[in-house]
Amino acid sequence: MTINPSLRSVLLLLLAFAACKSVPYTNRKQLVLVSASEETALGQSAYTDALSKAKISGDAEATAMVKRVGARIAAVSERPDFNWEFNLLDDPQTVNAWCLPGGKVAVYSGILPIAGDEDGLAVVMGHEISHALARHGSERMSQGLLAQLGGVALSAAMATKPDATRQLAAQAYGAGATVGVLLPFSRAQESEADRIGLILMAKAGYEPGAAVDFWGRMAAAAGGKDSTPEFLRTHPADDKRIKAIQEQLPEARGYLKK
């Protein structure tokens, strides 16, 4: 079936209007063509896939810290519909972390030395959880869907090509390291996740200024190594980022309990 061009543009407009949402805290308008239930299903299936390829850490103390930080941030995230899960994965070579839609969070043990302490870990987890709250992965998938006018293609793809769709979702939602492909979020999405992450930290009772120290350590970790950590390939820790975070701190500190 061919769709005539003017009908096509009306359809696109209607679609865009129906799918236009705004991001919590920043109120940026975004186009999301993946429904909340599709997003949760994609997240769940990418999560099952990722965990089947990973080794859960046996370090009880570090695991307890990941679960404690996660629970504190989840408690202030205002997403009672999320079925939160927090995992520490035993993988000292992988400097990375992610949060899939629905609240499925993984931290690789390789990022712990750079996180340093509980506040540093809250920077990482607050940032990753913010990508999920702001629906950045679905936004990224939607841009591709809109380009092909395939609003129905997602559910069809899930039904006919589950493995390929799961991989695509893992890449779009930031857990692509486990399938060998890393697709960075845009610079604007990164900055937005920094901003929301700082707010979540403050609401959870962590000092958001820890983010400046964390990104400094991350930048230092980039030097003198043969390979750049995964997290840095998708999260440039440059002066621009650190300066932007410093400018975002006063807003976040407004959320600290007095």
Cβ nearer to Zn ion, comparing 50 with 193 = 193
Neighbours of 255 (CB within 10 A): 17
Q: Is 230 a catalytic residue?
A: no
The tally of CA atoms less than 13 A away on the side-chain side of residue 142 is: 20
Which H or E element spans position 97?
A: strand 97-100
Angle at 67 between CA 61 and CA 68, to 5 degrees: 85
Cβ nearer to Zn ion, comparing 91 with 194 = 194
Cβ 165 to Zn ion, closest distance in Å? 23
Site for Zn ion in 184-223 (CB under 5 A): 190, 193
Residues touching Zn ion, count (CB under 5 A): 2
**Which region among 4-12, 42-50, 147-155, 182-190 touches Zn ion (by CB under 5 A)?**
182-190
Contact code string over 122-161 relative to Zn ion, x by CB under 5 A: ----------------------------------------
3-state SS class at 108:
strand
The candidate with the shortest Cα–Cα distance to 165, out of 52, 36, 53, 34, is: 34
CA distance 203 to 90: 29
Token pair belonging to 115: 């996180």
Cβ nearer to Zn ion, comparing 102 with 174 = 174
Cβ 116 to Zn ion, closest distance in Å? 19
Cβ 103 to Zn ion, closest distance in Å? 16
Q: Which of 39, 128, 192, 230 is catalytic?
A: 128
The candidate with the shortest Cα–Cα distance to 229, out of 220, 216, 240, is: 220
**Which region among 27-35, 116-124, 183-191, 200-208 touches Zn ion (by CB under 5 A)?**
183-191
3-state SS class at 188:
helix
Cβ nearer to Zn ion, comparing 41 with 193 = 193
Cβ 126 to Zn ion, closest distance in Å? 11
The amino acid sitting at 256 is: L
3-state SS class at 25:
coil
Catalytic residues: 128
Q: Which residues bind Zn ion (CB under 5 A)?
A: 190, 193
